[in-house]
Amino acid sequence: MKIAFFDSGMGGLSVLHHALKILPQEEFIFYADEDNVPYGTKSREEVLKFVDEAFKFLIAQGVGAIVVACNTATSAAVKKMREKYSLPIIGMEPALKVALDLFPARKVLVTATAITITGEKIRLLIEKLHAENFVELKALPRLVEFAERQEFNSAAVESYLRGELADYDFEKFSSLVLGCTHFNYFKDTLRKILPSHVKILDGNAGTVNELIRRVKGIRSQVSGVREIKFFYSKRRVTDSAELARLEKFLRRLDEMEAVT
């Protein structure tokens, strides 16, 4: 089965990275809307337009399911895409329930882009979990910019995160939830800054598990040679330098996998 992973940029590779380990028989397309990244600074109307254009392209490639591996796009557009298209569409959800289940009496800091932080989707999730008194929200928009240029653990990254997180008394928090897939590249710097008891959680495993549940029965049954095609805003990536850039992102995710 051909499965697409879509993001505004390179954050969604973290979800694909997880899927590669547990779905060995599938054919994957990774689509990064590099012409329009970052989505977090755009209007909801712009993001909806970008996502719809990407969906039309991906469906024309014959995909059987689309993972919107972008919390911002999920917040702004997934509901509309599900109304418009009939194939399985799997969105991202911050791992807030996981955090509250693990530590029901401690606070959780959810970090994301401004669109996700101010969106209805996160508000409804907090209300559904009756977590109004346990959740704080923080936008970290510059992490997307750092990630896109592969500036993963520089002094500038550490300074930015220390400054943005300085006002939080983390003795009161159980965990920090990564509500943007781009943020997965910075787990080591976050681990350096946060107290050891604060867990770093992301929604990648939950998203891939939901993908498996949604496509059960229509996945490939015969193992073959895995193929991954990469696209930047409808353009197939074939240049060796760009493929090497993508491989560097994937190697970084290998390094971040053990950081919690």
Pairing label, strands 27-32, 228-232: parallel
Q: Can you read off the two tokens belonging to residue 222?
A: 């015969």
pTM: predicted TM-score of the whole model, two decimal places:
0.92
CA separation for the pair 176, 109 (Å, rounded)? 5
**55 and 22 in a common domain:** yes
Is the model's pLDDT at 223 over the cut of 60?
Answer: no
10 Å CB burial of residue 55 (0-12, 13-18, 19+) is buried
Is the model's pLDDT at 139 over the cut of 70?
Answer: yes
Mean pLDDT along residues 3-14:
96
Nearest to 161 by CA among 135, 196, 136, 186: 186
**189 and 100 in a common domain:** yes
Domain boundary among 178, 202, 226: 202
Residue-range definition of the domain harbouring residue 124: 96-202
Nearest to 213 by CA among 65, 11, 80, 18: 65
> How many domains, the chain?
2
> What's the helix, strand, coil split of the chain in %, to 5?
50, 20, 35
Residue numbers annotated as active site: 70, 180
The model's confidence at residue 104, banded by pLDDT at 50, 70 and 90, is confident
**50 and 27 in a common domain:** yes
CA separation for the pair 226, 24 (Å, rounded)? 7
Torsion angle of the four alpha carbons 137, 141, 142, 147, in this order, in degrees rounded to the nearest 10: 100
**243 and 180 in a common domain:** no
31-68: pLDDT as tens digits: 999 999 999 889 999 999 999 999 999 999 999 999 99
Do the Cβ atoms of 240 and 23 come closer than 8 Å? no
**164 and 151 in a common domain:** yes
In CATH, what number is assigned to the domain containing residue 234? 3.40.50.1860
The whole-number pLDDT of residue 222 equals 46
**106 and 174 in a common domain:** yes
Judged by DSSP in three states, 31 sits in: strand
**223 and 198 in a common domain:** no
